């Protein structure tokens, strides 16, 4: 009897062990797949600045003639303090409490500009205080005013503090709207943004190991933060508010432009164009430069008003790849996840991971297009203008892509996971091209409540797993010229 009992217990033990092992295998399979995905995204642990200014020597701008009265132009005093600090091998440039008017200032290697809570920088409203430099704007290289705060060709730089940088950009907005009315009437919509030459707030260009942390940025004249041709950059805890003085056109939040190994986190943006945007050049000039934006992590951020929570493009010529956007919130934003380009841009957008996102009251939850805003995207010289008499940057914009097929963009290998959307106008608006299908888009664990479901055209190899679209129009997604789309909600 004891032997039989022992044998029965042994059988039960073996059976339970087998069941346990089977369960472990079953439940580990997704983890293994996730682990494999984690291996693919190991690069995400390496983004951001890994060096900071070392010296703790402090230099006050007031010692060099800067005034905290909110009226006197203190550009020279602030720049003198930065230069003196750099000459000593670096350190921290600080301000006594108060408001300081300034035009363009240029940070140097090893310098930390600290704008404390009691400090306000006020952007000069005189265009002459922003000297023109060689840079790239909206996808082409050209002369353009320097930003309010610039880091150009430097390394180990930081801009920190809980103070305010108010660019007071309304003077730029007013200039643009006057020009826009005139240019539209002449068929020049495609060039007015370049001719208006509005002022950015922050520019990091051809630099490495730069940290922007904790600042409150307001009323940009044009883009708020542009990271251009740079690597190893951290943007942490910025609050951007570009709506206080009215509706400023093209006041993007953060633009990552042909740059790599970028970390953006803990930011809160309310602007009037794309909130978090990745770019890599446009048309012939962008294809000439051919520099991608890659290895970018955007996490734990909020987009309020603005064109898009995450926007890739429309400047895609150099390619955009290896992007992780996670733990994000969109509230009242025009688009949730937006990939846009045009048939003269070219470039490949690929290996994009968009996950753990909550959207509330957005326009399009997902919008993908290769023919974005034709009036702006395509350049043609109206009658009455001579090629010999137009500015150089006009000629750059008019330079044709040859062969034309090089201008066709490609979007592929897009991964969307764990998304919840409430009160959207449209769930999915996706438009590929006959020459370039939207390929291998993967949606998992996604729920969208919207007015309309939307449509997909020229999509290929889309996989939708546990995707639910609840639309007020009670219609399913409309498919046009699509192949290999599985599990349509």
The per-residue pLDDT for 11 is 46
Tell me how far apart the alpha carbons of residues 341 and 262 are, in angstroms, rounded to a whole number.
22
The per-residue pLDDT for 41 is 84
Better-scored residue on pLDDT, 189 or 24: 189
User: 36-64: per-residue pLDDT in tens?
Assistant: 334 458 999 999 999 999 999 999 999 99
The per-residue pLDDT for 487 is 63
128 assigned to some structural domain: yes
**Helix, strand, or coil (residue 449):** strand
**CATH code of residue 445:** 2.160.20.10
Q: How confident is the model at residue 247 (pLDDT cuts 50, 70, 90)?
A: confident
348 assigned to some structural domain: yes
323 assigned to some structural domain: yes
* Count of the separate structural domains present in the chain: 1
89 assigned to some structural domain: no
DSSP 62: G
Q: Is the pLDDT of residue 343 over 90?
A: yes
Tell me how far apart the alpha carbons of residues 161 and 117 are, in angstroms, rounded to a whole number.
7
From 289, 298, 398, select the one nearest 346 (Cα to Cα).
289
User: 421-460: per-residue pLDDT in tens?
Assistant: 999 999 999 999 999 999 999 999 999 999 999 999 999 9
The per-residue pLDDT for 23 is 33
Q: Is the pLDDT of residue 30 over 70?
A: no
Average pLDDT over residues 313-341: 98
**Helix, strand, or coil (residue 182):** helix
What secondary structure does DSSP assign to 262-312, as a single string?
Answer: EEEES-EEE-SSEEEEEE---HHHHHHH---EEEEEEEEEEE-SSSEEEEE
Tell me how far apart the alpha carbons of residues 137 and 286 are, in angstroms, rounded to a whole number.
11
User: 179-205: per-residue pLDDT in tens?
Assistant: 999 999 999 999 999 999 999 999 999
Q: How confident is the model at residue 117 (pLDDT cuts 50, 70, 90)?
A: very high
Q: Is the pLDDT of residue 4 over 80?
A: no
Instruction: Calculate the dihedral angle through the C-alpha atoms of 92, 96, 100, 105, rounding to the nearest 10 degrees.
Output: -10
Evaluate if pTM is beyond 0.85.
Answer: yes
What is the extent of the structural domain holding 248? Answer: 97-486
Q: How confident is the model at residue 244 (pLDDT cuts 50, 70, 90)?
A: confident
The per-residue pLDDT for 354 is 98
The per-residue pLDDT for 250 is 95
The per-residue pLDDT for 488 is 67
435 assigned to some structural domain: yes
191 assigned to some structural domain: yes
């Amino acid at each position: 009897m004891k032997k039989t009992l022992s044998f029965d217990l042994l059988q039960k033990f073996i059976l339970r062990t087998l069941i346990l092992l089977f369960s472990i295998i079953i439940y580990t399979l997704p983890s293994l797949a996730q682990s494999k995905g984690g291996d693919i995204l190991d690069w995400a642990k390496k983004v951001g600045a890994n060096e900071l200014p070392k010296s703790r020597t402090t230099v006050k701008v007031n010692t060099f003639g800067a005034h905290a009265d909110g009226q006197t132009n203190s550009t020279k005093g602030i720049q003198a303090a930065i230069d003196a600090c750099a000459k000593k091998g670096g350190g921290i440039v600080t301000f006594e409490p108060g408001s300081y008017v300034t035009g363009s200032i240029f940070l140097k290697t090893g310098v930390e500009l600290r704008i404390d809570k009691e400090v306000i920088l006020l952007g000069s409203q005189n265009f002459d205080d922003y000297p023109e430099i060689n840079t790239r704007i909206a996808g082409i290289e050209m002369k353009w005013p320097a930003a309010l705060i610039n880091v150009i060709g430097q390394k180990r730089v930081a801009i920190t503090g809980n103070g305010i940088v108010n660019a007071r950009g309304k003077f730029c907005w007013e200039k643009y709207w006057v020009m826009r009315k005139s240019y539209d009437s002449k068929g020049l919509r495609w060039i007015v943004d370049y001719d208006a030459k509005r002022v950015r707030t922050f520019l990091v260009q051809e630099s490495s190991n730069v940290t922007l942390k904790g600042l409150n940025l307001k009323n940009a004249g044009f883009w708020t933060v542009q990271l251009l041709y740079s690597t190893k950059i951290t943007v942490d805890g910025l609050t951007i508010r570009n709506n206080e003085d009215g509706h400023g056109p093209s006041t993007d939040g953060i633009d990552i432009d042909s740059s790599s190994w970028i970390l953006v986190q803990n930011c809160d943006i309310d602007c009037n164009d794309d909130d978090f945007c990745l770019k890599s050049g446009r048309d012939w000039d962008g294809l000439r430069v051919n520099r991608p934006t890659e290895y970018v992590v955007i996490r734990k951020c909020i987009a309020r008003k603005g064109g898009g929570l995450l926007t890739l493009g429309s400047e895609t010529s150099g390619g955009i790849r290896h992007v992780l956007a996670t733990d994000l919130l969109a509230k009242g934003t025009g688009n949730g996840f937006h990939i846009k380009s045009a048939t003269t841009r070219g470039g490949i957008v690929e290996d994009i991971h968009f996950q753990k996102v909550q959207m509330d009251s957005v326009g399009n939850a997902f919008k993908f297009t290769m023919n974005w805003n034709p009036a702006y995207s395509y350049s043609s010289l109206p009658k009455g203008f001579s090629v010999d008499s137009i500015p150089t940057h006009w000629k750059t914009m008019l330079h044709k892509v040859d062969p034309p097929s090089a201008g066709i963009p490609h979007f592929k290998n897009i991964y969307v996971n764990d998304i919840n959307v409430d009160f959207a106008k449209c769930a999915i608006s996706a438009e590929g091209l006959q020459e370039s299908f939207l390929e291998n888009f993967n949606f998992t664990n996604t729920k969208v409540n919207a007015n309309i479901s939307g449509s997909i055209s020229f999509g290929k190899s889309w996989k939708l797993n546990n995707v639910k679209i609840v639309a007020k129009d009670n219609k399913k997604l409309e498919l046009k010229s699509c192949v290999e789309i599985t599990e349509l909600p």
